[in-house]
Amino acid sequence: MAVKLYKPTSAGRRIHSVTDYSVLRKNEKTPRNLISSKARPAGRNHSGKITVRHQGGGFRRKTRLVDFFRQDKRGVPAIVRTIEYDPTRSAFISLLAYRDGDKRYILTPQGVKVGDKVAYDETADIAPGNRMPLKNIPVGTFVHDVELIPGQGGKLARSAGNYVILQNLEAGYALLKLPSGEIRRVKETASASVGQLANADWMNVRLGKAGRRRLMGWRPSVRGKVMNPVDHPHGGGEGVNPIGLKYPKTPWGKHALGVKTRLKKKYSNHMIIKRRSK
């Protein structure tokens, strides 16, 4: 995977880059039962009031239904038919054609090519794209699309280039090191897919201009420091002023950085061995 650059024919194009999609291979139509349309609330709640600011507009996008379980296909081999772009996620997706005639989408790991065979099986090879319980995966392996609770479907490491490291197996639990640095326990019967997800260079793409951001569904955000004091805690002053407060605040005077949002009595606290580094 790589990032594609263009000739600097304009100011926006000069610092602009895109994902190189030449690695994608789509040689058949998307099955209609694997596409769904979903309304975009644009930051509004059920009453029509804006609860999340700076959202709205953007291209219409249709959601591809990705299979994060694969348990009902245990022991049924599949062949990778396509490697595709998904408009609703950063990772690439692959269309699998199972031996029984069914077709499903999965997240595409690095190293998987069109024509490869993948499977969900406890005795499957340790190869990218294969899925199995954590207890059957060697320690030190990179995995993605990991279940937090067995049978719940993959929840961890689902974005482009992401992976989780299986550090140890002990007392019925697997110790996982997450991308944030957090180390947590998960039951060893939870499933995971082998490998690191493709499109790792996605994080290096530079949008280059505001218009690309608008097409992604982001609306403009005005900095608090350029407002008047009546409009924002950061407002006021002459010229280019710093914030002038002990800590950044929201427009309503609340802490804006370093605020702990995790519940103190969350049910899964005992599963976390080491919190993520600050």
Looking at residue 22, the DSSP 8-state letter turns out to be G
Residue 198 clears pLDDT 90, i.e. is over it: yes
What percent of the chain shows pLDDT beyond 70?
A: 99
Model confidence at 72, pLDDT cuts 50, 70, 90, reads very high
Which whole number is the average pLDDT over 169-181?
A: 94
Confidence of residue 177 (pLDDT cuts 50, 70, 90): very high
Mean pLDDT of 151-177: 95
pLDDT > 90? residue 175: yes
Confidence at 92, pLDDT banded by 50, 70, 90:
very high
Arithmetic mean of pLDDT, 160-183: 95
Q: Which long-range contacts (CB under 8 A, 24 or more apart) does 91-100 make?
A: 91/158, 91/159, 91/160, 91/161, 91/162, 91/197, 91/198, 91/199, 92/24, 92/160, 92/197, 92/198, 92/199, 93/64, 93/66, 94/129, 95/28, 95/30, 95/31, 95/34, 98/73, 100/76
Tell me the pLDDT band of 1, cut-offs 50, 70 and 90. low
Considering the chain, what is the average pLDDT of its residues? 93
Q: Looking at the predicted structure, is the pLDDT value of residue 9 above 70?
A: yes
Share of the chain above pLDDT 90, in %: 85
Confidence of residue 38 (pLDDT cuts 50, 70, 90): confident
pLDDT for 183 beyond 70: yes
DSSP codes joined into one string, 195-243: S-BS-GGGGG----SHHHHHHTTBPP---GGGS-TTT-TT---SSS---
Domains and CATH numbers, the chain: 23-203 (2.40.50.140), 227-278 (4.10.950.10)
Query: What pLDDT sits at residue 278?
Result: 67
Please check the confidence at residue 95 and state whether its pLDDT lies above 90.
yes
